[in-house]
Chains A and B, each alone.
Chain A
Amino acid sequence: MSKIINWAPLERDYEEEKVAHNLIRSKATLHPLMKNYDQIMRRRDKEEKERLSKLKKKEEETNKNKKTSTKTKSKRKKKSSRRKKKFKGGLTFESIDNPLSNTSLTNVQQQEEEDDDFVVIEKDPLTSGVDPLSIQAKEKKNTQSSHLNEQFTSNFISWDVKKKSILSKYTMSGHITVMEGFKDETRDSQISSRENESMMSQEERTKRRLESLSVTSQTNEIKKKLEMSQEQYLKRINKISNQLKTYWKKGKRVVSLRLIVRAAKDLANTSCLPFYPSQFVLVSDVLDMFGRLVFERIKDKSITTDPLTGGTTDPLPENFTHEIVPEVAKDTCYNWLYKILCIRELIARIYIELVILPIYRFISKDMHIIALSRISRMIRGLADPLVAAYCRTYLLRKALEIYPDLKEFQFEALNDYLISFQQIVSEPYLSKIKKYQITMGEYMNLHRPSIEWICQCVGHRGTLEEFKNVLRKYQKISKNSLVLYGILGSFNPKFIVNNLLDLLPLVRKGDNYFPHYLIYQAIGNQLLLEKPPRKKTMRILNEIWKVVSRFEKIEEYLSVSRVFIEYTVKYCSMKETLILMKDIHRHIRKLSKEDLHKVKIEIFTIIERLIILSHDVTNLLLVEEFTKLMDVVVIEYKTRLAKRILDSFSKKDQEPTGDPLIIHLIFEQAKILHDSVNILSHPNEIRNVSNLINNYLDHVEFGKGVEKHLNFLVEARDSFSNLDLVIANLAIRALSLAMKTFYIVKKKHTRKTAAFAKACLAYCFITIPSIEDCIIRLKLYSLSGQISLINGSHAQADTFFREAVTLFKEIALIKSEMENEEKFERDLVVFLQSFASLLVIVPGHPTYGAFYLIKGLFNVLKDIKWTEKSNSNFKFSMAFLSLFSVYAQKNFPYHITGIESNDVLYAGYKQYKEELQSYSTKLLKSILNSIYEMDDNTERGKQKQANSALELLNLILISAQLNNQMLNLVWKLYEITKKSKKINTKYFKNTLKSLSNQKGEKYLLLYRKIKKDN
């Protein structure tokens, strides 16, 4: 396209158009000066991305499945027609006197950018009443507190969770004694090979069995003992489980059984007491695996081959019943059971029968229950309370898998444990405990996981009747504090809380083998879940605190305090909380430095809980007791404390504060937080901290004391200089301050207020350059320029705009080095588009002419290398072409009150018009060039070209005179759009429709021609 086409702008009457198209002015929903703008923008970006990815997915789906494509399309159409409203012309037809409260230019432009269809989103997701961020925050809080709920009521702590905690908790440093026979594999394989000989006669087999019987009884007497460390033990268990797998694969079931019997027997070995719980977990894992192997094997056996015909049956369904199991499989089950019931050692017999319990399902409907109740009683034969307790744990685990609703065994288990526990104080267990040099308390701690599990099974969904029964039994035979702890922690909190005053004496009477503070803690946790009767709240607290405050160990005291401070906040008045804080402080004060150091984490968690729970952290900070507590841990937990406080401060949904004391207190915390971040910090952490500080800054409000506020901002800039986002926010705060003043004087500045506004702008001018992010800087410059214009400060506005333009020089240099260049470029284009609409109202320079900013901008833009295949050049050129079209009008669509824009300044200037003409023509040429370049012979390129051509066509129809030259161009553009099949049809139709509405003969002709062509 070598011929030069002149751009002849169409004259338009915006007021008339506004009426004709019924364009209503709507309120701004989003603006940089709004609070939380950053967060909202980020959210929007995210939503946009999600929307795009969803669309993409949909498209992919439609591509994949052509049958359903029509369906989705119609859906999309419906959706979009609901959301879209036809939009004509490049800009809103609004006169602007304040960009901050009305439809903002940037906003509209951005929306245009988002939807290529030139539509305005009617319903902004952010306008829907509730702030999504605050909802999120609330949800977070809920989940935090409900997490506790789950632990104690509805959610049963699964074995897998429990398992991990046991393994990490119970470790050992000593050695464990193991029978040597365990390691002897060679003998195993020999035996197995002998046994596998099918040739062996019946008599020989019998003989051998008798031999092996006598052998084992002999070796039993001369056991060789091996010492093993924990690591070796772990290795050994792994080895057993691997061996088991390989033997099983080879079909050596007898050897496998032998191995597993040994593994189970190992659980009778308490030679390393402190490790026993972990030992149990390790071995039970292997046992579980064995159980699965046996079950699967029998299930496979159920696929029978008919001996006469050789056909096979189908495998059993998941929910099979014993009726459909073939005899062969049942026979195998019986064989397994016979083998297991013949195991000599009690403990091995119990464990292994439990392991293969699921196979009873093949034989009968309810035999497991009978077996379970028998095994449950068989466990009574295990005299060692620790071994028996874990055995019961295993039984309950298995019972839970098969019959979750069966309570019988759970009560029996607890009852039996209580009875057998009386043994503990007798020989040989006392001497055993002594031998391992552990205290009774430590010994009881070994019981803890199993008792917790048993009690959990008992208490889970337990009824009041059951609770009372259990308690009655407990009272009758035992003073075991551990069991009491388990009962109190596992039953419905309602039962506990309602009977609490009767329960407390029981706690006091309980033995000292288990630390009482844990019981009080458990009670406290239950209380937090269930509100006690109002009359009793104080009595409960007093009763408990009578005991707790006398605790000798500070750790114990503090861990109970942590729970009960929450209690006072929740159910009592501030007075009680204060008293409790005082009490805590009194306890801490007595401590030596070393002791204090040890419990600092506890103290910190108490403070943390208080901050999280408090409705208003500022109230808390003003309380002397609280600050005293804070002083104790402030050195170690400075940052975390600061984060919590700021978090709490900004989360509360209350009015901003102007209280200098509070502002100062929080300021200090914010500073600590700011100082905690450095160059090495994770970007998320930096963003997090910035958000916290920004939230705080947004909450500071001095009312009419604007100067005080500006001073505050100056101080803040000094303190938070390292955080880009905070600095940007500070600039925005300063700008809103200027706008606030503007409104205070009712849009008419006095000399004094004008000077203050200038001061605010000067603050921005100093602040903005220290921000690293170019896009933020550009946006802030443009925004500051707008505010300057509103406040009547031409000179400052000019400087800001010039700064923005010069910034492009820098951008040209660094652009290619940006991490995410494409996004950066998109942001730049968006800015340029928004800047173009801003330039409409910016008056020309008295000496440098009307277009000096644009000239400068074009000069620097030349140096920017746009990425290949992007249509950035086209996009911003289009924006500027519309700008020039507006410049040619007699009246601009919008103004700033008090500012004379170019329509007034250069009305009737010949030179202005000529210059405008030449710029427009040049731009049109460059636009056309870039449209031609888009076609790279790919389908994508053609699509892009067609859509771009359609855009230009639209612009021409709206804002250019339709002379012959133009008509030619329009027709050509139309033909380009026809080239691609993937053109935006909706947009195309709307364009046609708007063409049909245009008045004038030429438009009508054009419309008919196109219609005909279609």
Chain B
Amino acid sequence: MDSNICEVYEDEIQSLEEEIKLLAGKYEDSQQESTFFSDEEILMSIKSFQRELRGESEGYESLSDLKAQLESLETDLSFLMKFTGIQFTSHSKKTLEKTRNRTVRKHRLSGNCRSLSFQLEFQLLEMQNKAGVSAVITDLSIIMEPGGDSDLSKFVSSTEERGSLLTFFRSLSSYAEWYEHRRCTFLHFKNKYPDTVTLPEGLLGDYILLRNPKASGFELMIVWKIHINEEGRTTPVLDLLTKVPEQVLEQKMATIENAPTHFRSMLLLCGIEAAIENLVKVFGLER
């Protein structure tokens, strides 16, 4: 009889200990997630910690340990941001559910990848099972700036549907690289040939116009689109469109008809900059 009562007490003790562990964890998480300290406040804390110690050698060890840990984490983080081109400007999370085997946290993240900015929200479900810890993303929502491009928005929607956070970032990296490359190339040509090259949609648009100041009405449009498919594969697609007035067309029919094909071959042979350079030079010499 007594042993039964003992068992009952022991069971309750075990369940209370588990519950306490869980509650303490929740409290710590909540403390962590609902506070924010700026960099100045961190520095002030280090100073006041140093003042508090003042001679207690034991304390100094733990302070220098903490400082070392802080420094190492900051160096790693800044390396990663420089290496990947992804800068996170803000990150907050909130623990929605926490049981012995299951944790659900909601994350809010914003930042930029080179010149493209994003804002995301997602839920991360972490489960403890025999094989270890598994992580699954749900409820992914992404806002991109600039977001006008239809290819990009289709990609973003498909990513949101599938919860493919990893694919999103990997594709974003390569898309942003191309985006930046295109912007720099357009800028380069605008500066080098200010009379011939115009950017009707600005540096962030996807085409440039070549206008011959002498032959009015004769225009060449170099279109540079950055395609991104549903799996996130990024490919640049360039093409040449011609706008030719009647008189010029009669004279130079063959050359003009073949221009787009020649342009595409040049792209394959000597790359984007050389192909555009060639086109601009030839165009500028036209009478």
Check if A and B associate: no
